[in-house]
Amino acid sequence: MDSPLWVYALGLAGMGIYGTRIIIQWYKSEKSHRVESPAVYWVLASIGAVVLYIYGWLRKDFSIIFGESVSYYIYMWNISILGLYKKVPKWVIWIQALFPVVIVGLMMRDFPGFVSSFLRNEDVPPELLLFGVMAQFIYEIRSVYQLMYCYKRKESILPLGHWILAVVGSSMIIIYGLIRHDWVLVIGQFSILFSIRNLMICVAQEKRERIQKEQDRQA
C-alpha cells in the first residue's frame, strides 16, 4: 500500500527517536565497559512508541501496532522505577497511559473496517502478516523479559537475554520490511548493530563477574 510521503517521514522520525536512544545507551555502555540502562533510553523509547503507533495506524499495519503494544507499558514501568514520573505533572502520565487505548479505540470503532483494512489488507497477505506479527512479538518480548528480570530487583537493567531477543527480532523485522517494501522498517533496524555490540559487552561483563567471583572464593 502506497502512503503519502509525510507518512513515511513520520515513520522515519519514530525510528530516528528509537535509534537515538540506543546510540546514547551504547555510548554510555562503551565508556563504562558494562551495559547501561540510562533514563533517556526509556524516555525516548516511550516517545518513539507514540510516533510508531500513529505510523502503524496510518499504514494499516497491525504488526507494528501489536509490537508497540507489547512493550509500551514496560517503558512506562522503567521510567517509573527510575523515579522520573515524580518530575512531571500527573496529567502527562495519564495522557501517556491512555494513548494506546485511544489508538485501539480508533481502530475498533468500525470493526468490519478494521478487519478489512488491518487483517485482510491486500498488500499484506495473511502469511506475511503472521510473520510480521511474530517478528514484532520476538523483538518486543525482549521488554517483557527485561521486566521479569528486573521486577524483583526493583531496578532498571538491560540483561543478556534482552539483546539476544533484540537481534533475532530485528533480523525478522528487516526481512518483513524488505518483503513489504517498507523501507522505514528496514532502515529503522540499523539499531541491530548496536544490539549486537551490547550483546558482546554483556557477555564480556558476565565473564568478568564470573572471574571476579571465582577470585573472591579463592581469596
DSSP secondary structure of 185-196: HHHHGGGHHHHH
Q: Give residue 20's domain range.
A: 5-218
Grid cell of 98 as nine digits: 491512555
Q: Give me the pLDDT at residue 154, please.
A: 87
Among residues 59, 43, 45, 60, the alpha carbon closest in space to that of 10 is found at 59
φ, ψ (nearest 5 deg) of residue 209: -65, -40
pTM of the model: 0.81
Q: Give me the pLDDT at residue 136, please.
A: 87
Identify residue 167 by its one-letter amino acid code.
V
Q: Give me the pLDDT at residue 67, please.
A: 83
For the chain, give the mean pLDDT: 88
pLDDT exceeds 80 at position 1: no
Per-residue pLDDT of 155-164, as tens digits, reads 899 999 999 9
Per-residue pLDDT of 59-104, as tens digits, reads 878 778 888 888 899 999 999 999 999 988 999 999 999 998 888 8
Contact (CB, 8 A) for 201 and 35:
yes
The proportion of the chain whose per-residue pLDDT surpasses 70, expressed as a percent, equals 95
Per-residue pLDDT of 166-176, as tens digits, reads 999 999 999 99
Contact (CB, 8 A) for 54 and 10:
yes
Confidence of residue 153 (pLDDT cuts 50, 70, 90): confident
Give the chain's domain count. Answer: 1
Q: Give me the pLDDT at residue 118, please.
A: 66
- What integer is the mean pLDDT of 178-207? 90
Distance of CA 91 to the CA centre of its chain: 24
